């Protein structure tokens, strides 16, 4: 026999966990590593974003 249980309204059903992150930011590529400490880390590589500096409400390209 199987029993289905539902959480009462207002009952905390969240699972508390930690998230570990590392960022390696280079000029052309960014490497991101994410893990919850339970499984192996997930690694992602993305193209770097052009940096923009905003000063006094005006946008300046930061080169």
pLDDT band at 6 (very low <50, low <70, confident <90, very high): low
Q: What is the DSSP string of the chain?
A: ------PPTT---PPP---EEEEEE-SSEEEEEEE-SSSPPEEEEEEPPPPEEEETTEEEE--
What is the number of residues in the chain?
Answer: 63
Q: What is the pLDDT of residues 38-51, one digit of tens each?
A: 999 999 999 988 76
Percent of the chain topping pLDDT 70: 65
More confident residue, 7 or 17: 17
39-47: which pairs have CB atoms within 8 A and are 24 or more residues apart? none
In degrees and rounded to multiples of 5, residue 26 shows phi and psi of -115, 175
């Amino acid at each position: 026999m199987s029993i289905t249980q539902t959480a009462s309204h207002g009952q905390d059903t969240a699972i508390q966990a930690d998230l570990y992150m590392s960022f390696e930011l280079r000029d052309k590529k960014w490497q991101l590593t994410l893990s919850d400490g339970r499984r192996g880390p997930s690694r992602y590589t993305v193209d770097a974003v052009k940096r923009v500096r905003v000063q006094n409400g005006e946008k300046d390209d930061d080169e």
